[in-house]
Amino acid sequence: MKIIVILKQVPDSETKIKVKGDGSGIETDGIKYVISPYDEYAVEEALKLKEKAGGDSTVTVVSAGPDRTVESIRTALAMGADAAVHVNDPALEGADSLGVARALAKAIQDNGFDIIFAGKQGIDQDNSQVPSAVAELLDIPQVNIIAKFEITEDKSKATVSRRIEGGEETIETSLPALFGCEKGLNEPRYASLPGIMKAKKKPVKTVDLAGLGLDAGEVGAAGSHVKILKWIPLPERQAGKILQGMETAEASKELVRLLREEAKVI
Amino acid sequence: MKGFEAPDFMAMDGLLTPEERAAGATVRSWVEERFLPVIEEHNRAGTFPMELVPEVAKLGVFGANMSGYGCAGMSNVAYGLIMQELERGDSGLRSFASVQGALCMYPILTFGTDAQREKWLPAMVRGEKIGCFGLTEPDFGSDPGGMRSRARRSGKGYVLNGTKMWITNGSVADVAVVWARTEEGPVRGFLVERGTPGYSARDIKGKFSMRASVTSELVLDNVEIPEENLLPGTEGLRSALMCLNQARYSIAWGAIGAAMACYDTALRYAGSRIVFDKPVAGYQLVQQKLVWMITEISKAQLLVLQLGRLKDDGRARPDQVSMGKMNNVHIALEIARMARDILGANGIIDEYPVARHLCNLETVKTYEGTHDIHTLVIGEAITGLGAYR
């Protein structure tokens, strides 16, 4: 089976994000980048499927991003993926979800695929659009936010579960299909030290938009339908107020008054 | 709250290769997620988390800077970063890995036969077999040449007699690399397997330090071992010191991990603990301590990075390794003591890792060559005059 994982490199969730003074983006100096955590579930599910499917199954990571993305790609290879395609084109900087999806879809098509796993969303901009758009462009079914995955013996169908309000939804789909992975689907393995050494020798193919036969003017930032106008930092948190030196009854009364009149939340 | 990030004041990260960064990152995640949640409980109980050994093995930690037999084959700098992350967890965890890799797998690889390597190394990489190293004796620590352990030739091999003390992993080891003086004179290394008649290990109780680590006494009472258990490449005490040199290298890095854990704890604590009307981090005396800590950590990092590069190049001298061990453990212990001060009363309870690291580092300062002996190694190197006796 040709198993594909769509991977995005994002700032570590513990990085303190600072918006640039002119609101055109974020300060990238000193940011630590990691694999988007939901994509780790995608990598793990792909590796588990490869181990189960056996034979000449391969896991190929497909990722779009600048040079630094290679480090996250290598981490996925160290976890056990076999090869990668890195779409690296400056024109993609600032491209919208559809543009990125077009580039990824073309790279996946050129590589060939039987099944595709992605994180349910990237944890940076949280759009959750790219996986669905890639599935549309490849004209295959997609189920997003899956928490369980099973495949039939003949690998023609998959049964997946989604958590929904108050229960669980079980969906069967034909393959090929794309699945967006949710937390709880599996426990992603750690990249092992021998795995890190092996990953150095695994093939990472770098392509730009022209190499994919795509027009940077259409797919890249220049052709974006969505434009981010301004980045605004969250307002500084105001200092709290502590009610001191009052009896409980009196303090409660004062608290209610403040919540109603000052904070205006009740 | 924000998770731990290894302090990197001097942006040393940029001097590392991607594999070195990845090695540190993967071990750091494992320690954070799998080891830190259980360490205080083990430390209280005085037990080593043996149940985690298969996971450490799966990461590929054991003998990670060695090649072949399933070892990861990483650079010594990557190996150092791995040791740093392990000791950020606990000195006992790093000691377990140092003993398994540097003190048991390394001599089998370096001084052993192909048969010995085949028998032990793959199983030790997988953590299925555990090793220990018996050099120190109750009356001979810094002067191992005085050892009383003897290896006497007998028809089928050797008969070993003696006592070894302060042996990490002693009672859990499947194989011990035991050093004993032969009738011909030189000290040589022998493999003694668990279950060999006359060989026993007793755990040392009542430790205030290295509580989450097994420390034992080995007793060899007319232990008969076959000829094929001699490590044929060992030639005197020099061979034992070669092993210690490997282990000391890993300590030089490991100590930084313990120091980082203490610094990180102290920095956070100082930022949130209000005294009078502001965080204690806002007072000059506290800042002076924190600044000293991060400065010493940064210097220590650069020292071992260069030491690692020299080692990768085959040029690291034993006295340079001594400087790494001597300095980094010394500053780590001082940092732990300062961190404990900054935490006030909270510095003595195990809600914070500081007192545990502090007590552990008291051991690290005197094992694998005491601080004073390493000082004399460097002293001899620069003056040409040995001042040991």
Q: Which of B217, B351, B368, B380 is catalytic?
A: B368
Q: Which of B59, B76, B85, B121 to probe by mutation at the A interface, max A CB count within 10 Å?
A: B59
Residue B119: HSE in the Cβ half-sphere, 13 Å Cα cutoff: 14
How far apart are alpha carbons A254 and A211 in whole angstroms?
Answer: 67
User: With bands split at pLDDT 50, 70 and 90, how would you rate the model's confidence at B191?
Assistant: very high
Length of chain B: 389
CA angle at residue B241 from B237 to B245, to 5 degrees? 175
A49: nearest Cα among A3, A91, A14? A3
Report the gap between the CA of A142 and the closest CA in chain B (Å): 32
**Above 80 in pLDDT, residue B174?**
yes
For chain A, what are the domain ranges? 2-223, 236-266
- As a whole number, mean pLDDT of residues B288-298 equals 98
CATH, domain B12-125, list 1.10.3720.10, 3.40.50.300, 1.10.540.10, 1.25.40.80: 1.10.540.10
A169 in Cβ contact with A162 (< 8 Å): yes
Q: Which of B26, B56, B58 to probe by mutation at the A interface, max A CB count within 10 Å?
A: B26
Checking DSSP bridges between strand A9-11 and strand A33-35, what pairing results, if any?
antiparallel
* Chain B residue with the nearest C-alpha to that of A32: B5
CATH class assigned to B238-383: mainly alpha
| Residue B278 DSSP SS3 | strand
Assigned fold of A2-223: Rossmann fold (3.40.50)
Specify the CATH superfamily of domain B131-235: Butyryl-CoA Dehydrogenase, subunit A, domain 2 (2.40.110.10)
Task: Give chain B positions within 8 Å (CB) of A70.
Answer: 18
The predicted pLDDT at position B3 comes to 67
CB atoms within 10 A of CB A185: 24
- Enter the tokens of residue B370: 């005491």
User: With bands split at pLDDT 50, 70 and 90, how would you rate the model's confidence at A239?
Assistant: confident
CA angle at residue B229 from B226 to B235, to 5 degrees? 125
ipTM score? 0.93
A83 in Cβ contact with A7 (< 8 Å): no
Report the gap between the CA of A30 and the closest CA in chain B (Å): 10
Give the model confidence (pLDDT) of A161-183 as tens digits. Answer: 999 999 999 999 999 999 999 99
Does the distance separating the beta carbons of B19 and A192 come in below 8 Å? no
User: With bands split at pLDDT 50, 70 and 90, how would you rate the model's confidence at B2?
Assistant: low
How far the first Cα of chain B sits from its last, in Å, is 53
B303: nearest Cα among B4, B12, B9, B7? B12
- As a whole number, mean pLDDT of residues B87-103 equals 98
> For B3, which of A14, A70, A71 is closest by C-beta distance?
A14
Domain with CATH 2.40.110.10 in chain B: 131-235
Q: Which residues of B touch A (CB under 8 A)?
A: 2-3, 5, 18-19, 21-23, 25-27, 29-30, 58-61, 64, 70-74, 78, 82
Structural Rg of chain B based on CA atoms? 21
Give the model confidence (pLDDT) of B22-49 as tens digits. Answer: 999 999 999 999 999 999 999 999 999 9
Domain with CATH 1.10.540.10 in chain B: 12-125
CA angle at residue B61 from B59 to B63, to 5 degrees? 140
- As a whole number, mean pLDDT of residues B72-101 equals 98
Give the model confidence (pLDDT) of B329-348 as tens digits. Answer: 999 999 999 999 999 999 99
B183 in Cβ contact with B159 (< 8 Å): no
Q: Is B362 a catalytic residue?
A: no
Q: Which residues of A touch B (CB under 8 A)?
A: 14, 32, 70-71, 74-75, 78, 190-197, 200
